[in-house]
Amino acid sequence: MLHRGVVTNILPLLQIPKKMKRKLAYAASLLLVACTFTACDMLGGGCQTCQTVSYENGNPIDWGTPAEYCDDDLVTIKTTPPTTINGVTTQWECN
């Protein structure tokens, strides 16, 4: 059961004027649209230029040919872990 003081503090929040409700709904919908447009970038969608870079002792020693990757191919590349053979680590780098 709610304490009487809590109820009286919540009631004014429920009595928001109609114009304010409309402004809040408008702001919430703009926020939703903004998040929707950036969702692909957050999930790794879109296109980026990627190449393999090989490192030895933390220093780059070889670069692959840059190419553009999109959608599922880009997600696959971004989730590929680096591989190390004979002290040379090769990994994908995208920009």
Give this prediction's pTM. Answer: 0.53
Strands 59-63 vs 47-56: parallel, antiparallel or unpaired: antiparallel
Amino acid in position 73: D
16-51 pLDDT tens trace: 777 777 877 777 777 777 766 655 555 545 899 999
User: Mean pLDDT, the chain, as a whole number?
Assistant: 81
Residue with tokens 């929040």: 13
